[in-house]
A and B are shown apart, each in its own frame.
Chain A
Amino acid sequence: MKNHTDVLIFHTQICAGASQICLMADANLIFASAPSRKRSGMEIRMKQKQKAVVLSQREAAPQIYDMWIGTDLAAQAMPGQFLCIYPRDKSTLLPRPISICEVREDRKALRIVYRVAGRGTGEFSQYRAGDAIDIMGTLGNGFPLEEAAGRKAFLMGGGIGVPPVLQLAKELDGEKQIVVGYRDGHTFLREDLEKYGSVYIATEDGSAGTKGNVMDAIAENGLEADIIYACGPMPMLRAIKAYAAEHHIKAYISLEEHMACGVGACLGCVVKTRETDSHSHVNNARICTEGPVFEAGEVEI
């Protein structure tokens, strides 16, 4: 759960042109509900909406786009966290949540990989290098990396749930078996993933790797693990939850839900939880704030 320690907060505001930065380190932090992380000996927590710049964009597979964004939010990005991206089209109101796929080594740029699904992602796919892009981040809690210590892990991604697996594979220590599923032979991010572990592929149409889904790939290759990290469509996550329960291992799954605020204020994005949630005091946790990553046994999916 949350780490409510006495941390230093960099509380940054950019309000309509004027930009003010204040540093707070007081009792307010007991109320802080955002993730914090240690970097160079200091805990930094900061959510910010900013104008960032598109560094590059290419189509990685039909309707799948691969974009690098120049932003200082990269300094605090953790695997499994996400950004909210604001379309410019004035007929839209809500930001689009997109996972962080990769953090550049110098921590000054973030990569996203997304499928064109509608108006917002359609607009993003038109952006070119040099264009401004409105983003808010970094949001949510990432995957708990420390849980993998001394364990053999499955890192699993399905479809447009594959992107966050890349940064996870880069940062996770230990033995990594990366199991990813796609619709067909357009297997984006495959070469990137191969740098960080043994990669097993499943495709629905059998055009690459195992024919079927990620569970079929595990069975066909006779794979085993002591812990699972996963992101993908709900049927895949349900199968992983059942598999983890059967094998008495933990599975950390990243969930998706329609969001409005992205920061925990609107209660739009909840998932049912087994226990009463400490924030909501009902059996509902906010995916944008308590998640998007949950231990599978904690949530009713």
Chain B
Amino acid sequence: MNTQTTIAGITFKNPVMTASGTFGSGMEYSEFVDLNQLGAVVTKGVANVPWPGNPTPRVAEVYGGMLNAIGLQNPGIDVLMERDIPFLKQFDTKIIVNVCGKTVEDYVEVVERLGEEPAVAMLEINVSCPNVKEGAIAFGQKADALFHITEEIKKRARQPVIMKLSPNVTDITEMARAAEAGGADALSMINTITGMKIDIHRRKFALANKTGGMSGPAIKPVAVRMVYQAAQTVKIPIIGMGGIASGEDAIEFILAGASAVSIGAMNFANPYTTAEVVRGIEEYMERYHVENLTDLIGAATA
């Protein structure tokens, strides 16, 4: 049985990754999960300088999921390079660094710094951040802006580039096409779906930011649909995520067309989820006598 999967020429021991922002830089959950078991650790979004993030409350539970408005708090690229990458290098897993910014220049600065670190296997670009020069519309919500930022990053990046798509768009295939045309090596999807919760007893917004990104099991069908549509549209590989809780959920994304999967909010419900998904995928492959995981990618039929 071979659980390996290859994305942009990089081979992962299995398709299970951590979703950015839910797993820190691996340190905290390494008390629960042996990081050597994972295909990759995807780090929390990092910017060129430290970001303080939003006021609290930053998280709220909703039916079958949660909302978050962390506001991309991060210690900046210097700390990631000096503290987090050396920590992750001790493990036999791939390192993918998620990058955020307010301008194209911010992103490029981080991407260039990461080019100095060969231990970083791939870059994942979070384009759900507001573009401060373009009326604060997220880079990932306008096809031309997405094409432009992908092209600029690809010019400077030493590592393969994954563009992480926002689901908060009318047509996900248009965005997938724009990223591919800009030179993206892979896509990851979906980021959180914008939502809101109101505490009716206190008549207050549950989050200080009023709106937040929804994640967790309740968004899974939307994510599976979007992965399928994108996979039908582009040739580059896709990393699927959105509410994955088990090996079965991961297989569903792979059958829809994902080459790998990420585990996000379910780490909070169970800190062992990533390791359990790895085992669940193996159990599925044994049960159905699947020799190569890659045989399952996009294998769902009508």
A261 touches B268 (CB 8 A): yes
Interface presence of B244 (CB below 8 A): no
Q: Is B27 on the interface with A (CB-CB < 8 A)?
A: yes
Question: Is there an interface contact between B70 and A266, defined as CB atoms closer than 8 Å?
Answer: yes
Within 8 A of B (CB), among A259-289: 259-271, 279-284, 289
**A269 CA to B21 CA, complexed, in Å:** 14
Q: How far is the CA of A263 from the CA of B44 in the complex (A)?
A: 15
Q: Which residues of A contact B53 (CB under 8 A)?
A: 267, 270, 282, 284
Cβ-defined contact, B60 with A258, below 8 A: yes
Given the interface pairs A93-B217, A282-B53, the reply to whether A263 lies near B271 with Cβ below 8 Å is yes
**CB contact under 8 A between A260 and B272, given known A33-B28, A265-B29:** no
**When the two chains form the complex, which single residue of A259, A264, A270 contacts B24, counting CB atoms closer than 8 Å?**
A264
CB of B102 within 8 Å of the partner chain: no
A93 close to B269 (CB less than 8 A): yes
Interface of A is mostly: loop
Is the pair A28, B59 in contact by a Cβ cutoff of 8 Å?
no
- Chain A min CB distance to B194 (Å): 17
- Which of B30-38, B118-126, B232-240 lies at the interface? B30-38
Contact B61 A282 (CB under 8 A): no
Contacts of A47 in B (CB 8 A): 31-32
For residue A228, CB closer than 8 A to chain B, the reply is no
Using known A-B contacts A86-B269, A281-B50, A282-B53, determine if residue A93 contacts B24 with beta carbons closer than 8 Å.
Answer: no
A265 to B31: give the CA distance in the assembly, Å: 12
| CB closest residue in chain B, given A86 | B269
Query: Are A268's CB and B58's CB within 8 A?
Result: yes
B56 adjacent to A13 (CB under 8 Å):
no
Residue of B nearest to A118 (CB): B61
User: How would residues 240 to 274 of chain A score, 1 for a CB under 8 Å from any chain B CB and 0 otherwise?
Assistant: 00000000000000000111111111111111000
The one of A11, A16, A283 in contact with B276, judged by C-beta atoms closer than 8 angstroms, is: A16
Tell me the chain A residues, 127-155 only, with Cβ under 8 Å from chain B.
136
B 273-300 contacts with A by CB, 8 A? 275-276, 279
**CB nearest to A27 among chain B residues:** B90
**Is B65 in the interface zone, CB < 8 Å from A?**
yes
Contact between A49 and B32, CB atoms less than 8 A apart: yes
Q: Does A126 contact B (CB under 8 A)?
A: no
Residue of B nearest to A264 (CB): B28
| Contacting residues, chain A, for B79 (C-beta < 8 A) | 281
Residues of B within 8 A of A93 (CB): 61, 64-66, 216-217, 265-266, 268-269
A95 close to chain B: CB less than 8 A: yes
- Which residues in A have their C-beta under 8 angstroms from that of B31? 11, 34, 46-47, 263
Q: Would you call B68 an interface residue if the criterion is a C-beta within 8 Å of the partner chain's C-beta atoms?
A: yes
Count A-side interface residues using an 8 Å CB cutoff: 43
CA of A266 to CA of B44, assembled, Å: 9
Most buried by A among B32, B70, B216: B32
Instruction: Assess whether A16 is in contact with B275, with CB atoms less than 8 Å apart.
Output: yes
Task: Indicate if B6 sits at the interface (CB-CB under 8 A).
Answer: no
Q: What are the residues of chain B within 8 A of A282 when measuring CB–CB?
A: 50-53, 73, 75
Q: Mark B39-79, 1 if CB is under 8 A from A, else 0.
A: 00000100000111100111111011110101001011001
- The verdict on A265 contacting B267 (CB below 8 Å), with A93-B216, A282-B52 known, is yes
Q: Is the CB of B50 within 8 A of A260?
A: no
Determine whether the beta carbon of A266 is less than 8 Å from that of B27: no
Q: Chain B residues near A269 (CB, 8 Å)?
A: 56, 58-59
The reply to whether A49 and B275 contact each other, CB–CB distance below 8 Å, is: no
Please indicate the chain A residues that have their CB under 8 angstroms from the CB of B23 in the complex.
265
B22 at the interface (CB under 8 A from A): yes
**Per-residue 0/1 for B78-109: is the Cβ within 8 Å of any A Cβ (1 yes, 0 no)?**
01000100010010000000000000000000
The reply to whether A267 and B32 contact each other, CB–CB distance below 8 Å, is no
B61 adjacent to A284 (CB under 8 Å): no
Q: Known: A49-B32, A266-B70. Contact between A14 and B57, CB under 8 A?
A: no
B11 CB contacts on chain A under 8 angstroms: none
Which residues on the A side are within 8 Å of B2 (C-beta)?
none
Tell me whether A31 and B276 are in contact (CB under 8 A).
no
B130 to A: closest C-beta gap in Å: 18
Is B32 within 8 A of A266, CB to CB? no
Whether B279 and A16, one on each chain, are in contact in the complex, defined by CB atoms closer than 8 angstroms, is yes
Which residues of chain B are near A261, meaning CB under 8 Å?
Answer: 22, 28, 267-268, 271
- The distance in angstroms between the C-alpha atoms of A145 and B257, with both chains bound, is 56
Residues of A within 8 A of B276 (CB): 15-16
A132 to B214, CA, bound (A): 30
Contact string against B for A residues 71-97, beta-carbon threshold 8 Å, 1 for contact and 0 otherwise: 000000000000000100011111100
Given contacts A94-B269, A266-B22, contact A13 B59 (CB under 8 A): no
Please indicate the chain A residues that have their CB under 8 angstroms from the CB of B44 in the complex.
Answer: 267
19 new A-B contacts at CB < 8 Å, known A93-B265, A258-B57:
A13-B33, A16-B275, A34-B31, A49-B271, A93-B64, A93-B266, A94-B268, A95-B268, A261-B28, A261-B271, A263-B32, A265-B24, A265-B28, A267-B70, A268-B59, A270-B56, A282-B51, A282-B53, A284-B53
A-B pairs with lowest CB-CB distance, top 10: A281-B75, A265-B24, A268-B59, A265-B28, A282-B52, A264-B28, A258-B57, A260-B59, A16-B276, A260-B268
- Which residues of B does A touch, CB under 8 Å? 21-24, 27-29, 31-34, 44, 50-53, 56-61, 63-66, 68, 70, 73, 75-76, 79, 83, 87, 90, 216-217, 265-272, 275-276, 279
